[in-house]
A and B are shown apart, each in its own frame.
Chain A
Amino acid sequence: MSENAIATRWRALGKSRALIPYVTAGFPTAAVSLDAMRRVVAAGGDFVEVGVPFSDPLADGPTVQRTTQAALEQGMTVARVLDLIRQAALRVPVIIMTYLNPVLAYGVERFATDAHAAGAAGVLLTDLPAGTDPAVEQAVSGRGLDLIRLVAPTTDDRRLKTALNNATGFVYLISRLGVTGARADVPPDLDAQVQRVRAASPSSAHLPVAVGFGIGTPAQAAAAARSADGVVVGSALMDALAKGGITAMERLTRELATAVHA
């Protein structure tokens, strides 16, 4: 995957909205998660988020906690996740989602270099808010990986500017307060939130906005796609995988893709 693969992909999408499925690497096994990465792309995923498990996932709800715990019990490590990404050789950009400590233990520069070499295009670090550790941010983004910034409903205008300044790839808008996990509805103020992020983006950047957290059904995905450029679905897919196996997860991905792309 060449430099700016994420930007290239968004350009190719044009006005079409993007579905961004999330898969926990190593859940329920390494082999099944490799198959899952390929199938979510075949079923219409425009990007794939691949989760590297961490022992203390404090931004995640019960579903992702269970999958990452199971992945750790399978012996999943950063190195093995990168191997899976290399083997998957996906035709869409891969974004690694994890927490900072496994990356620190691997070595930030080494991680960025190896992840890029394995074919990853971006990384999203849940517990690294913009500006907290500039040295880590530089080490990541100096090596061809987009560091995807997260913004939240509680992000004030001053912080929003900080987060969007030098942001690349896209902006991940956390749609609601709380941890990851499917919810019954879509927040009523989602459109206003997306517009707020768009308005704060430097006009030269044309940063797409993807929303995530709590979106699980095709109807929710369709509603979110009316405002946002991309829709991230994680827990609902992991639930489908856990309960109905790979075909159930693939079926849900296809329904979500239809809803988002409509």
Chain B
Amino acid sequence: MTNIATGRFGPYGGRYVPETLMHALDELAHVYDAARKDPRFWAELEGLLKNYVGRPTPITAVPRLSAQVGAQVLLKREDLNHTGAHKINNTLGQVLLAQRMNKRRIIAETGAGQHGVATATVCARFGLDCVVFMGEEDMRRQRLNVYRMELMGAKVVPVTSGTRTLKDATNEALRDWVTNVTTTHYIIGSVVGPDPFPRLVRDFQSVIGREARAQMLEQVGRLPSIVVACVGGGSNAMGIFAGFLDDKSVQLVGVEAAGEGIASGKHAATLGAGRPGVFHGSMSYLLQDADGQVQPAHSVSAGLDYPGVGPEHAYLKDRARVLYEAVTDQEALDAFAALSRLEGILPALESAHAIAWVMKTRRASHELILINLSGRGDKDVAMVAELTGAKI
């Protein structure tokens, strides 16, 4: 799917970065291309995913939700990974690449804090210095995750520029990388950024789709008719879609955050309401004004609160291989409550967007729906309580 020589997905992707970073991207691409062909690399990663992360994650039938939806629904349980989300699939892969490059300092950006936690975790495991950039506003929203990172030895740097969220944390991480590029590896948390990040993050997350496809065939006896995942930057979605892209019978649906509604202008529906541009190192869809200035995104879920999106999603949208939809904050909050009550599973607010889309669209009874439950919702409990006026 990727043109490796140019790092592009059709017109999207590429390396739009300051010249200072070009050498590091060449090096990363070179090291990754060698690692990809090295069975020892995959053996080490698979061992860690099995014994440290707890993979494979199960697929879980959810009969009470299914009854409400009117079709059979299953969840791919990425919430059961160590650290509580899919993010660690990528951070483990990248930390192994950092070791191959002899880089002992790791930086990362984080929105909700899940990627920051997953990065702090692997840095603790491998004894590496870890600095996580996080918007001041997100630190307030996700205090628990800040403390988790600090417990594991990471330094969390508050970002006070711009909107003080994920977009600005990414700017700050890139500025640090430009400054310390010779000693530092930047573990980007999603399928965004300059080549080779979108393809290597996809590859590390594609374990989700590979497992899910085999589990569906083994446990249900057929492929799902629909695979649904939430899309912020888009890594959990690319990860599960990767397993089904070649199965033409499987409809793929990416669900973005409509925030307070697309018409309100306060949303994060980059593919639904943005247009192509260059941001954070690659060409993709982007929320921007007529002058090419990046517009702040909005979502109740910090992990989706991002005005960009991975370039491969842009390509899949244009080719109409994936349908991109959006649900509002309220619909996501309702789905968060519904899954908790009906199935005893608290979804991350991010993943709740995927559930909300399935709940709100009319489904035919013969359909078999697989939803990627990308993370657990414990981190969101305080915020949901605040929003619903509950006292805890």
Contacts and interface: CB of A to CB of B under 8 A. Distances in A.
Interface in B1-26: 14-24, 26
Given A101-B279, A105-B290, A178-B178, A154 B22 contact: yes
Nearest to B277: A101
A139 interface: no
A43 interface: no
Q: Which of A58, A69, A105 has the most CB of B within 10 A?
A: A58
B178 A155 contact: no
A72 to B, nearest CB: 6
Contacts of B15: 129, 132
Interface string B261-287: 000000000000000011111000010
Nearest to A61: B175
B23 A154 contact: yes
Contacts of B14: 132-133
B181 interface: yes
Contact of A55 (B20, B24, B294): B294
A132 B161 CA distance: 28
Q: Which of B161, B174, B175 has the most CB of A within 10 A?
A: B175
B31 to A, nearest CB: 15
Interface string A43-80: 00000000000111111010001000100100001100
A129 B278 contact: no
Contacts of B179: 177-179
A127 interface: yes
Contacts of A154: 19-24, 181-182
A155 to B, nearest CB: 6
A40 interface: no
B127 interface: no
Nearest to A172: B19
B291 interface: yes
Contacts of A54: 292-293
Given A56-B171, A177-B179, A179-B178, A127 B292 contact: no
B180 interface: yes
A104 B291 contact: no
A128 B19 CA distance: 8
B374 interface: no
B353 interface: no
Contacts of B76: none
Contact of B291 (A59, A61, A102): A102
Interface string B14-51: 11111111111010000000000000000000000000
B190 interface: no
B13 to A, nearest CB: 10
Interface in A214-253: none
Interface residues of A, number: 40
A84 interface: no
B111 to A, nearest CB: 15
Given A56-B279, A58-B175, A178-B179, A152 B18 contact: yes
Contacts of A153: 20
B350 to A, nearest CB: 23
Interface in A84-100: 99-100
Interface in B165-184: 167-168, 171, 174-175, 178-182
Interface string A150-180: 1111111001000100000000001001110
B19 A55 contact: no
B288 interface: yes
A141 interface: no
A172 to B, nearest CB: 9
A58 B168 CA distance: 9
Given A105-B277, A106-B292, A156-B23, A129 B162 contact: no
B278 A101 contact: yes
B162 A55 contact: yes
Contact of A105 (B17, B181, B281, B288): B288
Contacts of A78: 291-292
Given A58-B175, A154-B181, A178-B178, A129 B292 contact: no
Considering the complex of A and B, which 7 residue pairs feature the smallest CB-CB distances, nearest first? A105-B292, A178-B179, A102-B292, A152-B20, A55-B293, A154-B23, A101-B292
19 contacts: A54-B293, A55-B162, A58-B280, A78-B291, A99-B278, A101-B294, A102-B292, A106-B292, A128-B16, A129-B17, A129-B18, A150-B19, A152-B20, A153-B20, A155-B23, A156-B26, A159-B22, A177-B182, A178-B178
Interface of A: 54-59, 61, 65, 69, 72, 77-78, 99-106, 126-130, 132-133, 150-156, 159, 163, 174, 177-179
